[in-house]
């Protein structure tokens, strides 16, 4: 998504109206011209844009009793995407002109439509509209500060910072970020350091305390059936996210991932484009192929020159022998009530220390729950306000046996019907687990903060973390039919 031009207008009744700031992007304009072809309408001068905007917003020519273009009920604005009707030999309609107005400021930008202009695509289908509005809202918050009406001196100083702000958050007309309220001109101004040439993709340099943050997150998915005729499935995929606040135009950083001696090699490794070099064997290991003992098992070194914003350094999959929590779920229908039996067991290789752990038991295509006579061996049981969901809060630890159970019956005698689901009919039902285990990964993969190397003028503070999260972790009722997947779960 890109913008062809951007305007900041000051408007206050009884005072002069003026374009306080404008920015045009010739490269984006050329792209818009190529895409529009014969339907292309060039962006007029700022003064013309100002008058067209005021007319479309109903803020001009207030002394005239009626203007069809301004006052006709067919032109009442119900969305922030306006049409500007440009007159003249090269005239036409500029659309979508996105506008946000607050207090004495009007912010507008003309977005590029990456779709054929005729017929006009639906507004809701255009990603450029949501991105453009996000950009304008961020600029509005930056210019207005905490109040709805900025003071004159503060507004003047912030407007003076707009060239450097836009260089960082919207380089070459492509929005990448929004400005942070309270940003100073010193932090906003991109000042290249040393004699290195600043690349076009990096729009600024960090100034301040040096910090490198590396976070490793592994997600585990599972489909368990409790049936010998159906194979349980699970998979693990991980991501490494970095935020590098390091001085210098092109600082060099190396992050190393390590595995335990008996750990399975990482598979399906994908890296960010900023990674400068990588062992070819790292990229050739695929989960769809049989893993052998000769596969590369680390350490995995990722040298890179980081961008300013947080980014995903790499992602991977890993093959682990067992899921972290094994479970069985049984339902029996007995005179408009269900008898429920659930057992969960935490595997011995998983640290028994959760930030949270919950088991959700939804019931579809039935009336609301009436009486609930269910006992749990550990934790506590809650009934949702809608009376269609049991929430088993297991807390932060399993008992010493690492096994918990739930047993009882639920009747469905509520006055209102519960939610429907075309899949979960009759005894087709599931438990969904939600949990987070800090400082743990199933693959054993970790980032040692002492292995993070930073080649910069200032020694940074290194912060590393890892965690295990559940994702689509299902345990299906073994007495009912359940969807069966074959092969790998990874999409």
Same-domain pairing of 344 and 454: no
In a domain, 490, yes or no: no
Q: Give the burial string for 355-380 (b: 16+ CB within 10 Å, else e).
A: eebbbebbbbbbbbbeeeebebebbe
Task: Please give the residue range of the domain that contains residue 126.
Answer: 2-173
Give the H/E segment covering residue 331.
strand 325-333
Please give the DSSP secondary-structure letter assigned to residue 477: B
* Pairing state between β 311-318 and 380-383: unpaired
Q: Residue 339 corresponds to which tokens in the numbers above?
A: 């008898």
Same-domain pairing of 7 and 124: yes
pTM of the predicted model, to two decimals?
0.60
Contact between residue 185 and residue 161 where contact means Cβ atoms under 8 Å apart: yes
In a domain, 484, yes or no: no
In a domain, 278, yes or no: yes
Beta-bridge mates of residue 331 = 340
Same-domain pairing of 100 and 153: yes
pLDDT value at position 491? Answer: 36
Please give the DSSP secondary-structure letter assigned to residue 65: S
- CATH code at 283? 2.60.40.1170
Same-domain pairing of 418 and 466: no
Same-domain pairing of 277 and 398: no
Distance CA 478, CA 429 (A): 9
Same-domain pairing of 250 and 335: no
How high is the mean pLDDT in each 10-residue block of the chain (491 residues)? 91 79 93 87 92 84 61 64 85 90 89 80 80 88 70 82 86 81 47 53 73 96 91 94 87 93 88 85 67 67 89 93 95 88 95 96 91 95 92 96 96 84 90 96 92 85 95 94 63 36
Same-domain pairing of 434 and 338: yes
Q: Is the dihedral of CA 406, 412, 418, 420 positive or negative?
A: positive
In a domain, 192, yes or no: no
pLDDT value at position 307? Answer: 86
- Tally of domains within the chain: 3
């Amino acid at each position: 998504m890109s913008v062809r031009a951007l305007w900041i207008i000051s408007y206050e009744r009884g005072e002069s109206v003026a374009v306080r700031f404008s920015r045009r992007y010739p490269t984006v304009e050329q792209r818009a011209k190529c895409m529009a072809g014969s339907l292309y309408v060039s962006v007029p001068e700022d003064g013309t844009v100002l008058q067209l905007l005021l007319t479309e917003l109903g803020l001009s020519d207030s002394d005239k009793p009626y203007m069809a273009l301004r006052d006709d009920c067919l032109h009442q604005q119900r969305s922030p995407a306006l049409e500007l009707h440009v007159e003249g030999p090269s005239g036409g309609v500029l659309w979508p002109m996105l506008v946000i107005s607050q207090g004495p400021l009007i912010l507008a930008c003309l977005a590029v439509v990456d779709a054929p202009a005729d017929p006009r695509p639906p507004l809701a289908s255009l990603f450029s509209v949501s991105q453009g509005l996000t950009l304008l809202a961020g600029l509005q918050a930056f210019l207005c500060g905490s109040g709805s009406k900025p003071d004159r001196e503060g507004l003047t100083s912030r407007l003076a910072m707009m060239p450097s702000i836009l260089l960082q958050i919207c380089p070459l007309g492509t929005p990448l970020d929004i400005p942070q309220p309270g940003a100073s001109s010193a932090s906003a101004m991109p000042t290249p350091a040393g004699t290195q040439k600043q690349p076009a993709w990096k729009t600024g340099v960090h100034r301040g305390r040096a910090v490198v943050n590396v976070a490793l997150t592994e997600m585990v998915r599972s489909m368990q059936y409790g049936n010998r005729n159906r194979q349980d499935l699970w998979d693990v995929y991980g991501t490494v996210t970095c935020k590098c606040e390091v001085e210098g135009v092109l600082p060099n950083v190396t992050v190393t991932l390590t595995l335990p001696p008996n750990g399975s090699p990482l598979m399906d490794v994908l890296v960010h484009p900023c990674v400068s070099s990588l062992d070819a064997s790292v990229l050739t290991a695929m989960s769809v192929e049989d893993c052998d003992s000769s596969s590369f098992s680390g350490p995995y070194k990722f040298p890179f020159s980081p961008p300013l914003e947080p980014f995903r350094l790499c992602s991977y999959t890993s093959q682990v022998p067992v899921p972290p929590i094994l479970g069985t779920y049984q339902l029996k229908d007995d005179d408009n009530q269900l008898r429920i039996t659930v057992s969960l067991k935490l595997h011995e290789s998983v640290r028994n220390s959760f930030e949270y752990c919950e088991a959700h038991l939804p019931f579809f295509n039935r009336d609301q729950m009436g009486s609930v006579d269910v006992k749990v061996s550990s934790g506590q049981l809650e009934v949702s306000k809608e009376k269609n969901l049991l929430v088993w809060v297991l807390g932060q630890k399993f008992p010493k046996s690492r096994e918990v159970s739930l047993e009882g019956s639920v009747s469905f005698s509520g006055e209102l019907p519960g939610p429907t689901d075309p899949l979960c009919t009759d005894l087709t039902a599931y438990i969904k687990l939600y949990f987070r285990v800090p400082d743990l990964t199933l693959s054993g993969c970790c980032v040692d903060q002492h292995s993070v190397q930073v080649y910069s003028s200032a020694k940074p503070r290194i912060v590393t973390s890892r965690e295990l999260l559940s994702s689509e972790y299902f345990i299906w009722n073994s007495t009912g039919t359940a969807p069966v997947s074959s092969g790998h779960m990874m999409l």
